[in-house]
Amino acid sequence: MLKNKAPLVSVIIVNYNGGKLIERCIKSILNTDYQNFEVIAIDNNSTDGSIELVENIFKSDGRLRILKLKHECTLTTAFNVGIMLARGKYIAFQHNDVEVDPSWLKELINVLESDPSVGGAQGKILFYDRTTIDCAGGFLDQYGLLYRRGHFEEDKGQYNEIVDSFIIHDTAMIFRKDCLREVGYFDPDFGNVLEDLDLSLRILLKGYRIVFVPSSITYHMGGGTYLYAKTPFIFKHKKAGMCNHCKNRIMLILKNFQLPNLIRFSIVNLLVIFYLILYNTFTKRPHLAIACFEGILWIVKHFKRIYKKRLEIQKMIRKRDDEDILRITPSNPLGIYGRIKFYKELERGRKPVANSL
């Protein structure tokens, strides 16, 4: 239970053409059963009038602050702007396509306040149907590949224990602000992909814990903003997303891991990227194959910058060996073959049979 006055929490939401989703999101968060929080809505230069709608509806609520960016930027940049504006002891992040259980924030703060070794936490994320799991903690497998525990499983209470997690997914995540000051904010070079894993790794390397709190529940549409976008935007997003995903896989490994795991994980991830290039080529989607290749070229072009970040992490942040933090990972049912099958099912628009990213 919380003692004395509840600490101030800053809840950051990034909106881009969120339509009525952002209205429903902010209404849900303002109805949170927690007595001391502020909401900072960062609008990423929307053109659909969604943020003006929010201003009009919630203008009388002093807990809400809105910042309109003049130019569209990446998710990481928008998050970092929100962090700099935040006044809270803790900083929580939500997407604009979520609704929250009234006690979501209180449950997270209870855990953080009870253990100073916890640098960040995340609640259980369910899809809008309220019964299917989106994420119940994230982990790296033996190949250095990320997977979401419970992804697309029916929620039957099988993940209802507080456990250490490897990653805070960028929906329903919360950090100590002091912890962020120690390890740095989101890396802008990651754009919109794997930025959460990169930050989580730095927190773990610094010696903090990350925990999954199942009693804190968020309902997530998943890619909801894009449902309001036109086809050319989706086409552009898929191409940019593929490029970012490929470059960020390798950049994350180069920055954060010690040499043995750097070599092992790089080889596996490059094989996965090579598979994606071949798969998209033979399925007549050359724009996605080219995007994968562009991601690797970006790594080569910016290697000096990545290496400089690596030196800072290894010398200034790292307090734990890789093997110490990799112990967190439970057994993963996917092998390489299972992961390839997973990607094919995603491409066909089916629900994956196992949990992965």
Domain boundaries, the chain: 9-226, 230-326
Both structure tokens of 156? 């039957």
What pLDDT was estimated at residue 243? 81
Max CA-CA distance within the chain?
A: 62
Give the span between the Cα atoms of 166 and 349, in whole angstroms: 28
What pLDDT was estimated at residue 353? 40
What pLDDT was estimated at residue 132? 92
Nearest residue to 164 via CA among 142, 182, 183, 139:
139
Both structure tokens of 337? 């073959």
What pLDDT was estimated at residue 143? 79
Both structure tokens of 228? 């309001």
What pLDDT was estimated at residue 7? 97
What pLDDT was estimated at residue 335? 53
- CATH top class, domain 9-226: alpha beta
pLDDT of the chain, 357 residues: tens digit per residue: 444 589 999 999 999 988 889 999 999 999 999 999 999 999 999 999 999 999 999 999 999 999 999 888 888 999 999 999 999 999 999 999 999 999 999 999 999 999 999 999 999 999 989 999 999 998 887 778 888 888 888 999 999 999 999 888 888 999 999 999 999 999 999 988 899 999 999 999 999 999 999 999 999 986 555 444 443 433 444 566 678 888 999 999 999 999 999 999 999 999 989 988 998 899 888 888 898 999 999 999 999 999 999 999 999 999 999 999 988 876 655 555 555 555 555 444 444 444 433
Q: What is the 3-state secondary structure (H, E, C) of the chain?
A: CCCCCCCCEEEEEEECCCCCHHHHHHHHHHCCCCCCEEEEEEECCCCCCHHHHHHHHHCCCCCEEEEECCCCCCHHHHHHHHHHHCCCCEEEEEECCEEECCCHHHHHHHHHHHCCCEEEEEEEEEECCCCEEEECCEEECCCCCEEECCCCCECCCCCCCCEECCECCCCCEEEEHHHHHHHCCCCHHHCCCCHHHHHHHHHHHCCCEEEEEEEEEEEECCCHHHHHCCHHHHHHHHHHHHHHHHHHHHHHHHHHCCHHHHHHHHHHHHHHHHHHHHHHHHCCCHHHHHHHHHHHHHHHHCHHHHHHHHHHHHHHHCCCCHHHHHCCCCCCCCCHHHHHHHHHHHHCCCCCCCCCC
Strand partners, 140: 146
Give the span between the Cα atoms of 199 and 134, in whole angstroms: 20
Q: Is the pTM of this model over 0.85?
A: yes
